[in-house]
Each structure stands twice: as structure tokens, then as C-alpha cells.
């Protein structure tokens, strides 16, 4: 029997990365080495990272040197967590002092060529994607007594939420792949130096920046401001240097906050190589509208995993984290706690008013929580969805570190469970290598949202961002329309819902050039709304060739979503392979292999990626010497813009008097920067 409960539900899924504050070497990015083996003479000597945040997307370059201190040639396998929405687009290996750039082939073909090269003792490298978990880079040979240099580059769209921009360099592994953990150890240390350098270019004024966990020794400099008001171009540089022997086991999270007067807007970032070429674009919409605040108190349900894998420090950290959230609640809020291992139990005995006395009592009980048994995730979620009050806004917090192994475990079972409730599901995915595709799907299908959380995040700040969304109306049935015949192949294919402060990012192709009419349609509390503007699709614009890869990656994700939901088909697989090889992207079905120029020619491989990389590097060099370009497209005809002069929503929009979480968030963002 289905229970139709009209509430908003926040589902926060906290994976192992959040809890593993004291991480062993098997829980980090680094060189893979067999457990209980004879050891390896290969080590990481240096690990240098350069990041550029500009024009709506991020470029991450990782330059590494491996050293072999032994007397025999060996293979190095470097593994790192898969960044969110990332396209691995470059893999370079220095052979005889010369950089060789990788090319993308079908996965099985690339693997065979690599193994053939390895058997012949020839220099080569291979980058592969392990589902949603990791990128793995194999290099052979790392020659005895010598150093080997490898570089990789990936791109990803920038995330801005309530005027807060966020970039994560993932290093802490989520620990969700039990087979891998059982087979490999991970050497996560560098024998030499580790450095991280980030450049932020913003066409809109920046109020503050922050690097949690590194604030005391990160060097943060504002390089310049070339304009005034909301049209200024600002540049920030962040540098982190670690001494010899540093561990690659902690994510680096960079935040920046835009000023409160930044407008709601539509930005269009194009790329078109020539008049007779097809164009590509990225549209970023930051909506502005009156989204009313929901005034009543909130019910919070915490579903806590207390299975055996949560033992030790993890269960203590779990209890401490939940206690901190309970301690920050309003007296108008209520909470309840469900725990599960082999089965689910009502730990709190129903809802409890969040008074100081009740919160203190429950915090003491949580400190005694013990871990044992298996993981009945389905049972915990099912129990948490029952007994909800349809007159109150409800948040559900599911805390788990593992994969379900008791009761229903298939994706279809969880989807079917949620169909029994008229709910909106919001997922907090904390830690790397989590099953983001599944959790994003659950959120999207229920018109909710998914939020990724790193172990290095300011957790309270991220919770406040989510709480602002839960306590406001939202845009639903969102659709972005391009009127006319110039635009085609839009991706993603379905926008879903947008919550306060969220942006809509859409990619597309176009033919010709000139004006295009863009319309955003959405409902607010069932009422239809429409916002329109006119933008220009240029005849030629060579500034951002990377947009082509981001379009292709989004198109691939559309197809992979169908594959995960309905199963693999020959047509879908072929489409992914074609997109991966044409736009040189490492996917579930394509890999990148580095060979010498002679081997590339002998094997008849077309150097598509080498040509694409040269175009991208040329454009990047030109952008490096120029201020950030403002791509706002909705104010060409008047100053009010698409959203009639409204400001972009920020963390305090419509929130009334500041509560404890708001004050904590503002203090967090305004902490003094080290110059």
C-alpha cells in the first residue's frame, strides 16, 4: 500500500571519506602496490598541481615524477578518486626527454596495445576509468635508477551555490571498493615536494576566499581588480607547499564567495573555430525570483549506520557529527534517530522537540552508540520514510559508510521504495568514490538535489546551504528553450528542479551565427513562469575550445544514465565510444594510451587529441594574460536583464533574522585570509 506524504525530504548520505579522519595508506590517492608483496622500489618523487578556475569551468593539471630506486625496470600504477563531472582529457609521458601526448581508443584495444608495448619493453602509459570510483594511470617502464615524468589534465564545470563557488581536488579515497582494498596497498607519500597552485579569475566581484584545513599556511593573494561593481575582473592566487614525505590523503577544498550585489543572470560561453565549422556553447543560468520562505519548524530524521564496518573512530565521529547538528537546531525543530545494522531500530522512540535539554540528553546517548553486524541499508531507509508528518517540512539524514549487503540491494528496489512516497529526495554524497550516479539519479527522479561533500569541507557551512534550499520554495518542471533553428543537441536532456541558489548548466551545438532567443520556463508552487532574453551566437570565437569536451562529457553522461537504468545496448555503447574517441575523453568504454610518435604512426592511430591539446593550450596561454571575460548575455537590450534586476540568491536571502547557523556560516566565510 502506497503512502502519499507531501513533504520535502533531505537525504544526506555520508560515506567513509567523512569519517576517516585518521586515514591509513590504503585510503588515499597514490601508487598501487600488492598487499603482502615484496614491496616496490618505485616511489612518487614530486606531485605538483595547477588549477585554473575561469569562464564557468575548471582546468586541473597534475604533474608527477616517479622514481625507481631499484636495479630493474618496473611498472607504476597511480590511482586517484574520480572527480565530480570530470573529463580526463590529457595524459602525457616524457620519453627520451620529449613530451608524448595520449590518444583515446576503445578500452579493450587500448589495453591490448599497452600490454603489447609492455611485453616489448617499450615506453607507454595508459589511463582508464573504473566506473564511478577512480581514474587509474599505468606507466611502463619506470626505468631502474631513473625518473619518469607523467602529466594528466582534466576539465569540469564550476559549481556555484548561493553565490559560493567551490572546487575540490580529490585525494582521500572513499574506501567503498572492498576488493581493491583487500588486494592493494597504496603508497600515498611523496619523497620530494608537493605543491598546489590555484588561479581564480572572476568576471564578478569576489568578497572572500577560503581553503579549510590549510588556512594557516596557504598563501592567498589577490592579484588585481580591473573593474568596478559587478563588471570587475578579479584574480586570486592560492599556493600550498608541503615538505618532503607529505601524504596525498586529504582533499583540498577551495571556496570563494561573490559579493551580494552580483545579479541574477544568463551567461553564454561559446566556441566556434571557423565560419564553416559547427559551434558549441555552455549556458549558465543563475535564476532570480521570489521564492518564499517556509516558516514552520523542521522535522529531522537521522538514519545512522551502526554496522560492524562503522567501528572504532568512525562510529565516534558519526556520533560527534550528528551531535553537532542537533546542537545547532532551532527550538521549533524536532528530530528522531533511526539506527540500522542487520535490521532497523527506532533509537529515539519517535520525534523529540529540539530543546537544549533534549538535545543534551540525546547527545549523551549517541556517545554510547556501538557498531556491529551487517548493513541493511534498505531497511533503514524504509523505516526512516515512515511516520512522517505531512504538515511539517521534513529532513532525512542517512549516514552510512558502506554498500548494502542485507535485504534488497539493487538500484531498482530503492527506486521502487521511493515511489511509495510523494517526496523530494536530497542527497549529500560525502567522500570520494561514492556511487554518485545512483544517488544523483534518486535525487533527480524525485525532483530533489544532490550535494557532494568532501571530508575537508566546512560541514556546517554545507549543511546551511542545504537548509536554505529545504526551507524555500523551488523551481520545478524547469526547461530551457532556444527558439529558432540554430541550436541543437542540448545536454543534459532533462533539467529537473532548481532550488534557491542553484545554477542551471546546459551545453549545446549550433550552426550559423547571430541572435538566438532563450527562454527559461519553470513552475513555482504550481504556477507557470517564463523569463526570456536574446543572446548572440558568434561567427567565430576561439577563446574556449574546452567547451567541446564538456559538451561531449555531458552527452556521454546522458547515455550512461540510460545504460545504468535500462542496461547496456550496442547502440548506446557505440555512441559513447564514438563521442569518447572524437573528443578524446576517458570513459567507461574508452581509454587513453601514450606511445612514441613512431608507434602512433606504425599502428595507424590518428593524433586527434594532440591536435586538440595544442588548440587548447594556445587558448589557455592567451587567456592567462587577459582579464576574466564577462559572458553575461541577458542584458544586451536593457540594464534590468532577464530577471528584471534581481540579485543572485546568496546565503542570507529571505532568511530574516540570522540564526546560529547563519552566523557560523558568515564567520566561516569572513575569516581573515593569509596574505
In tens, the pLDDT along 330-383 reads 788 899 999 989 999 999 999 999 888 998 898 889 888 888 888 888 898 889
Q: What is the per-residue pLDDT for 201?
A: 95
Tell me: the pLDDT tens digits for 29-57?
A: 767 665 444 557 888 899 999 999 998 89
Q: How far apart are CA 642 and CA 319, in angstroms?
A: 46
Q: What is the per-residue pLDDT for 135?
A: 87
Give the chain's largest Cα–Cα span. Answer: 76
Residue 516 has pLDDT above 50, yes or no: yes
Tell me: the pLDDT tens digits for 183-200?
A: 456 777 888 989 999 999
Cell numbers of 271, please?
A: 566556441
List the one residue out of 51, 494, 544 whose CA is nearest residue 252: 51
Quickly state the pLDDT bin for 305 (edges 50, 70, 90): confident
Residue range 307-325: mean pLDDT, rounded: 68
What percent of the chain is modeled with pLDDT above 70? 80
Are 79 and 150 spatial neighbours (Cβ–Cβ below 8 Å)?
no
Residue 557 has pLDDT above 80, yes or no: yes
Tell me: the pLDDT tens digits for 135-160?
A: 889 999 999 999 999 999 999 998 88
Q: What is the per-residue pLDDT for 324?
A: 72
Q: What is the per-residue pLDDT for 21?
A: 33
Q: Which of 141-150, 295-304, 527-536, 662-671 has the lowest mean pLDDT?
A: 662-671
Q: What is the per-residue pLDDT for 209?
A: 92
Q: How far apart are CA 54 and CA 629, in angstroms?
A: 9
Inter-CA distances, 146 with 63, 70, 142, 344, 629, Å: 17, 9, 7, 56, 44
Quickly state the pLDDT bin for 5 (edges 50, 70, 90): very low
Q: What is the per-residue pLDDT for 456?
A: 75
How much is the pTM? 0.84
Q: What is the per-residue pLDDT for 408?
A: 83
Average pLDDT, the chain: 82
Q: 648 in helix, strand or coil?
A: coil
Residue 496 has pLDDT above 90, yes or no: no
Q: 505 in helix, strand or coil?
A: strand
Helices 436-445 & 546-566, crossing angle to 10 degrees?
80
Tell me: the pLDDT tens digits for 590-611?
A: 999 999 999 999 999 999 999 9
Residue 317 has pLDDT above 70, yes or no: no
Are 544 and 269 spatial neighbours (Cβ–Cβ below 8 Å)?
yes
List the one residue out of 32, 31, 24, 42 whose CA is nearest residue 184: 32
Three-class SS of 300-331: EEEEEECCHHHCCHHHHHHHHHHHHHHHCCCC
Residue range 405-413: mean pLDDT, rounded: 79
Residue 581 has pLDDT above 70, yes or no: yes
More confident residue, 292 or 175: 292
Cell numbers of 254, please?
A: 577551495
Q: What is the per-residue pLDDT for 18?
A: 36
Quickly state the pLDDT bin for 541 (edges 50, 70, 90): very high
Tell me: the pLDDT tens digits for 215-268?
A: 778 899 998 665 444 445 789 999 999 887 777 778 899 999 999 999 999 999
Q: Which CATH architecture has domain 7-18+294-470?
A: 3-Layer(aba) Sandwich (3.40)
Q: What is the per-residue pLDDT for 295?
A: 63
If you compute the radius of gyration of the chain from its CA atoms, what whole number of angstroms results?
A: 25
The domain limits of the chain are 7-18+294-470
Phi, psi of 227 (to 5 degrees): -160, 180
Q: 457 in helix, strand or coil?
A: coil
Q: What is the per-residue pLDDT for 225?
A: 60
Q: How far apart are CA 662 and CA 668, in angstroms?
A: 10
Q: What is the per-residue pLDDT for 60?
A: 95
Residue 292 has pLDDT above 70, yes or no: yes
Are 28 and 39 spatial neighbours (Cβ–Cβ below 8 Å)?
no
> Element (H or E) spanning 163, and its range?
none
Residue 423 has pLDDT above 70, yes or no: no
Residue range 552-565: mean pLDDT, rounded: 91
Q: What is the per-residue pLDDT for 665?
A: 43
Q: Which of 379-388, 485-494, 544-553 has the lowest mean pLDDT?
A: 379-388
Q: What is the per-residue pLDDT for 600?
A: 96
Are 531 and 643 spatial neighbours (Cβ–Cβ below 8 Å)?
yes
Amino acid at each position: 500500500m502506497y503512502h502519499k506524504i507531501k513533504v520535502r525530504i533531505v537525504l544526506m548520505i555520508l560515506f567513509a571519506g567523512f569519517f576517516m579522519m585518521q586515514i591509513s595508506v590504503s585510503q588515499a590517492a597514490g601508487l598501487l602496490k600488492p598487499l603482502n608483496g615484496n614491496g616496490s622500489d618505485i616511489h612518487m618523487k614530486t606531485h605538483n598541481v595547477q588549477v585554473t578556475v575561469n569562464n564557468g569551468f575548471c582546468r586541473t593539471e597534475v604533474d608527477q615524477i616517479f622514481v625507481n630506486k631499484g636495479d630493474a625496470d618496473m611498472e607504476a600504477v597511480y590511482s586517484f578518486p574520480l572527480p565530480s563531472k570530470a573529463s580526463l582529457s590529457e595524459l602525457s609521458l616524457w620519453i627520451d626527454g620529449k613530451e608524448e601526448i595520449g590518444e583515446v581508443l576503445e578500452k579493450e584495444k587500448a589495453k591490448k596495445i599497452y600490454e603489447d608495448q609492455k611485453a616489448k619493453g617499450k615506453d607507454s602509459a595508459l589511463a582508464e576509468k573504473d566506473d564511478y570510483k577512480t581514474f587509474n594511470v599505468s606507466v611502463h617502464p619506470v626505468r631502474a635508477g631513473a625518473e619518469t615524468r607523467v602529466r594528466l589534465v582534466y576539465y569540469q564545470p564550476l559549481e556555484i551555490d548561493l553565490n559560493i563557488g567551490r572546487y575540490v581536488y580529490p585525494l582521500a579515497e572513499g574506501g567503498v571498493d572492498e576488493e581493491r582494498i583487500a588486494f592493494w596497498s597504496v603508497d600515498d607519500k611523496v619523497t620530494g615536494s608537493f605543491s598546489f597552485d590555484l588561479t581564480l579569475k572572476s568576471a564578478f566581484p569576489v568578497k572572500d576566499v577560503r581553503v579549510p584545513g590549510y588556512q594557516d599556511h596557504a598563501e592567498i593573494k589577490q592579484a588585481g581588480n580591473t573593474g568596478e561593481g559587478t563588471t570587475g575582473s578579479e584574480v586570486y592566487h592560492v599556493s600550498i607547499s608541503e615538505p618532503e614525505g607529505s601524504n596525498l590523503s586529504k582533499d583540498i577544498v577551495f571556496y570563494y564567495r561573490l559579493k551580494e550585489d552580483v545579479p541574477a543572470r544568463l551567461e553564454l560561453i561559446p566556441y566556434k573555430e571557423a565560419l564553416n565549422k559547427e559551434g558549441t556553447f555552455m549556458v549558465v543560468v543563475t535564476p532570480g525570483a521570489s521564492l518564499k520562505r517556509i516558516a514552520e519548524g523542521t522535522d529531522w530524521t537521522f538514519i545512522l549506520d551502526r554496522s560492524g564496518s562503522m567501528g572504532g573512530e568512525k562510529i565516534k565521529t558519526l556520533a560527534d557529527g550528528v551531535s553537532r547538528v542537533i546542537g545547532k537546531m532551532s527550538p521549533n525543530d524536532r528530530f528522531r534517530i533511526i539506527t540500522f545494522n542487520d535490521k532497523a531500530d527506532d533509537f529515539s522512540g519517535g520525534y523529540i522537540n529540539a530543546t537544549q535539554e533534549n538535545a543534551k540528553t540525546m547527545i549523551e546517548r549517541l556517545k554510547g552508540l556501538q557498531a556491529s553486524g551487517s548493513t541493511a541499508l534498505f531497511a533503514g531507509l524504509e523505516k526512516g520514510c515512515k511516520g512522517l508528518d505531512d504538515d511539517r517540512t521534513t529532513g532525512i539524514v542517512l549516514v552510512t559508510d558502506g554498500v548494502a549487503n542485507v535485504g534488497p540491494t539493487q538500484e531498482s528496489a530503492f527506486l521502487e521504495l521511493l515511489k511509495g512516497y510523494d517526496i523530494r529526495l536530497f542527497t549529500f554524497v560525502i567522500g570520494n568514490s561514492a556511487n554518485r550516479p545512483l544517488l544523483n539519479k534518486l535525487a533527480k527522479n524525485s525532483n530533489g538535489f544532490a550535494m557532494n561533500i568532501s571530508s575537508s569541507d566546512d560541514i556546517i557551512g554545507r549543511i546551511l546551504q542545504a537548509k536554505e534550499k529545504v526551507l524555500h520554495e523551488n523551481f520545478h518542471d524547469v526547461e530551457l528553450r532556444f527558439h529558432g533553428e540554430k541550436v541543437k543537441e542540448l545536454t543534459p536532456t532533462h533539467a529537473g528542479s532548481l532550488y534557491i541558489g542553484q545554477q542551471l548548466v546546459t551545453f549545446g551545438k549550433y550552426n550559423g551565427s547571430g541572435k538566438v532567443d532563450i527562454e527559461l520556463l519553470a513552475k513555482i508552487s504550481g504556477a507557470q513562469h517564463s523569463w526570456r532574453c536574446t543572446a548572440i551566437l558568434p561567427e567565430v570565437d576561439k577563446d574556449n575550445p574546452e567547451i567541446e569536451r564538456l559538451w561531449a562529457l555531458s552527452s556521454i553522461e546522458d547515455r550512461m544514465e540510460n545504460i545504468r537504468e535500462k542496461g547496456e545496448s550496442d547502440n548506446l555503447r557505440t555512441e559513447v565510444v564514438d563521442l569518447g574517441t572524437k573528443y578524446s575523453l576517458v570513459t567507461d568504454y574508452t581509454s587513453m594510451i601514450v606511445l612514441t610518435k613512431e608507434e602512433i604512426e606504425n599502428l595507424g592511430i590518428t593524433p586527434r587529441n594532440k591536435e586538440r591539446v595544442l588548440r587548447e593550450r594556445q587558448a589557455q596561454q592567451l587567456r592567462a594574460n587577459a582579464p576574466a571575460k564577462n559572458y553575461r548575455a541577458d542584458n544586451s537590450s536593457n540594464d534590468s536583464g532577464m530577471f528584471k534586476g534581481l540579485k543572485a540568491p546568496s546565503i542570507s536571502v529571505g532568511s530574516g533574522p540570522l540564526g546560529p547557523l547563519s552566523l557560523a556560516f558568515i564567520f566561516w566565510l569572513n575569516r581573515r585570509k593569509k596574505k
